[in-house]
Structure 1
Amino acid sequence: MSGRCWKAVKMRHVFSHFSEFKENIYNKHLMLFLDYDGTLTPIVDKPQRALLSKKTKQLLSDLTRQRDYTIVVITGRALKDIKRLVGIKGIIYVGNHGFEIEGPQIRFRSPVYSGFRKILRELKPEILEQVSRFKGVFLEDKGFSLSLHYRLAKRSLISEIKTAFEKSVMEYMLTHKVKTNSGKMVMEIRPPVPWDKGKAVLWLFARQKFANKAVPLLPLYIGDDITDDDAFRALRNKGIGVYVGTPKESYARFYVRNTKEVLRLFQELLRLKEGDTQCRN
């Protein structure tokens, strides 16, 4: 797939084009990158309620035990949060959109200048002061970032909430002390460095490729959020992107409709690997 010029294309449903999908992943070591909220769990009103089902956890455990799969859970959540929620050994965990990474033989923290945490401490009360009048809004401190969630707020107030948020961070943005980003019903403050899910995925892919030079390696990324577009774009000529949700123009080549179809895809991946093992034997 290398050497081609890629641009955003209309996605195809995985299970309507499964023969093509299988052909792409056949006889390769899959590096399976998985978003959490909206991919492994349905989107819920409050982040703390997004818990893995027993079926999802069992399928993830089964995939992790496969010799030809490397499983990576990559999320905007804090590293300690996602490790607690998934709780499966052998997985590589990526928190804060790539600023924190931990797994078998790997521990990484993106360098953030020393004054950034002080800036977050200064910003927290300023943001809270601006948004405190809105019901259904809460601020999450994730160590490397701050996230303002407004999923529980009235839809008619969202524009005002965004304006209040922007007002509180504007001075810091203009002086390049912070960077802001948006996701599904959330606005975020991150360090002002060129690092995101896409950069983290490429770094992990290169690392894995160097460690397993003799094995054909294919990254497969599954995600539903705006922040996952960075990863789809980064992998557009190196691997496969699968978007979760209503199809749109994207760098992801395939889509599944919902989290139930994500689990169905996991089951198919396990069946394919079992078939490969039987053929080798």
Structure 2
Amino acid sequence: MNKKYALKNKYWQEIRQKILRADHILFFSDYDGTLAPFNPVPAEADALTEAVESLKLIAEKEKYYLSLVSGRQLSDLKNMLKLEKANYAGSHGLEIELFISDEIIYPFSEQNIDQKSKEIYQDIKEKYQAKAQLEVEDKGFGMALHCSDEITKKEIRDELNEKFAEKNYQVLAGRKIVEIRPQAWNKGKAVNFIAGKISDKFALENYLKIYIGDDRTDEDAFQVIDEGISIYVQNEDDLNTEAEYYLKDPHDTAELLKLLAGEA
């Protein structure tokens, strides 16, 4: 696909003009593969220092409202970044904490999941937790199976697709990972939920949404950006994405954040 490289001056100026025309910016970013380079041990996947420093500056800008949206659990995501005046959406937006509120919001109810789906989910979790060579990340609402190679990932994905066919959970394969999550919620819905809460709270008009992400789960967010700015972080994959712009890797993300923060 003919995508626009966001750091090419022509397209950066295009992005910049869109930002200048808006009175407010609702800025959303994924974490792994976007702010942090991939690490086989999730707990050691640290965001690039220069990216975090720019995010701190962006969060302090009166025009910007910063949100982090990740498949990680909310507590884990907050621990990795520790940014104030930021909204956090963990577990693909199944648990949300807004800087304007002291409570955690759970926009999706587990009551929407039928008993049979719950039983299959529990059986699958116990099966894979028993495999010593596979890291299972229990997120409460769902789980992530971290795979060491593509063959293992494909085998797990195929088995889970069969198990959860027409059930209330969905299976998503990303980079070295297979995730199981409730069918009725995704990052796109989380973005719209946060945007609605923030725009209502501050009576925002003429605002622009920006979303940066790198994986299949971020495609749901790209689809709800409308007239905003959607940016895909390519890493090692092709450019088969709904996003309008792209970056090559988290180092590119850090460079773009530096521009947005006004440091360059």
What is the deviation of 1:252? Answer: 1.2
User: Is the CA contact 1:131–1:161 (under 8 Å) kept in the aligned structure 2?
Assistant: no
Highest Rg: 1 or 2?
Answer: 1
Cα drift, residue 54 of structure 1: 3.0
Match of 2:3 among 8, 11, 28: 11
- Tell me the amino acid that sits aligned with residue 203 of structure 1: F
Residue 161 of structure 1, CA deviation: 3.0
2:176 maps to what in 1? 185
Q: TM-score, normalised by structure 2?
A: 0.85
The CA deviation at 1:31 is 1.0
Q: Which residue of 2 aligns with 1:123?
A: 121
**For residue 98 of structure 2, what is the amino acid of its counterpart?**
G
- Structure 1 runs (4+) greater than 4 angstroms displaced: 114-122, 130-133
Selected match of 1:268 from 234, 237, 259: 259
Letter in 2 for 1:242: I
State which of 37, 56, 66 in structure 2 corresponds to 1:71. 66
Between 1:244-253 and 1:217-226, the stretch displaced more is 244-253
Give SS of 2:28's match. Answer: strand
2:245 is aligned to 254
Question: Which consecutive residues of structure 2, in runs of 5 or more, have no partner in the other structure?
Answer: none
Distance 1:131 1:160 in 2: 16
Deviations, residues 133-190 of structure 1 (Å, cap 9, x unaligned):
6x7422111011111111x2x44444333344445xx1x544x342322222222222
Whether 1:160 aligns to 2:158 is no
Is it true that 1:231 corresponds to 2:225 in the alignment?
no
| Gap runs ≥5 in structure 1 | 1-8, 275-281
Q: Which residue does 1:23 correspond to in 2? A: 17
**In the alignment, residue 67 of structure 1 is paired with which amino acid?**
E
| Aligned 8 A contact 1:244 1:255 in 2 | yes
CA contact (8 A) 1:41 1:50 kept: yes
Distance 1:157 1:199, change over 3 A: closer
Structure 1 residue 34 displacement after superposition: 0.4
- SS of match in other structure, 1:36: coil
Does the CA-based 8 Å contact 1:76-1:95 persist in structure 2? yes
Q: For the residues of structure 2 that align with 1:270 and 1:80, how far apart are their CA atoms?
A: 26
The 1-side partners of 2:29 and 2:128 are apart by 34
Paired residues for 1:77-92 under 5 Å: 77-92=72-87
Instruction: Please state how far the C-alpha of 1:206 moved relative to its aligned partner.
Output: 2.5
Give SS of 1:250's match. Answer: coil
The answer (yes or no) to whether the contact 2:48–2:254 under 8 Å persists in 1 is no
Checking the alignment, whether the CA contact within 8 Å between 2:172 and 2:216 is kept in structure 1 is no
* Structure 1 Cα separation of the partners of residues 88 and 216 of structure 2: 20
The equivalences for 1:138-157 within 5 A come to 138-150=135-147, 152=148, 154-157=149-152
CA distance in 2, matches of 1:117, 1:83: 31
Residue of structure 2 equivalent to 1:48: 43
One-letter identity of the residue aligned with 1:24: K
Q: Within the alignment, does 1:218 sit opposite 2:208 as a pair? A: yes
Counterpart of 2:54? 59
Equivalent position of 2:190 in the other structure: 200
CA distance in 2, matches of 1:255, 1:158: 25
TM-score by length of 1: 0.81
Q: RMSD value over aligned CA atoms?
A: 2.7
Distance 2:6 2:92 in 1: 26
1:217–1:37 Cα change, 3 Å: same
Q: CA deviation at 1:116?
A: 5.3
Supply the AA of the counterpart residue of 1:10.
N
How much does 1:114 deviate? 4.5
Q: Contact between 2:69 and 2:187, CA under 8 Å: does it hold in 1?
A: yes
